[in-house]
Amino acid sequence: MLASFSCPYNDSTSVCTINVPGAMRGGVPLKLRPVEKYHSYVYYPRPFKFQTIKEGEEEHFKIPLILYGSAWLDEKYNIIRFCGEKEIDPEMKAEILKDIPHYYIIGIEFKSDKKE
């Protein structure tokens, strides 16, 4: 089983921790960017919709799991927002993406180690 999550490291950095029980555990720092004019760091996760693996892709494919994105300043109402779809489509066509100023995509990549 693979577990992945983000946790606060300090005000401007989160850590994405990957844990494969019995094999490895590691962390990757994610540098955050402040919301315009507010100098605060506001990030939220959004899961990706499940996607099937197409025939012929078995040798090498990527599966996006979570989008970890920054909230943005809604200048019309002078508030910080992070609203939109509850799941992100793997083709990255979600409406929320037009407003998110900064994000990370956390996923897994599979590569065949067959020697040809």
Q: Report the predicted TM-score, pTM, of the whole model to 2 decimal places.
A: 0.79
The answer to whether 99 and 72 are in contact (CB under 8 A) is: yes
Q: Tokens in use for 16? A: 């994405």
Give me the pLDDT at residue 92, please.
92
Q: What is the pLDDT along the chain (116 residues), one digit of tens a residue?
A: 445 566 666 778 888 888 878 888 888 899 999 998 888 899 999 999 987 777 766 677 888 999 999 999 998 999 999 999 999 998 999 999 999 999 999 988 888 776 65
What was the pLDDT predicted at 57? Answer: 66
Q: Which of 58, 56, 55, 62 is nearest to 90 (CA)?
A: 62
CB 70 within 8 A of CB 43: yes
Q: What is the pLDDT of residue 9?
A: 66
Torsion of CA 93, 72, 108, 16, to 10 degrees: -170
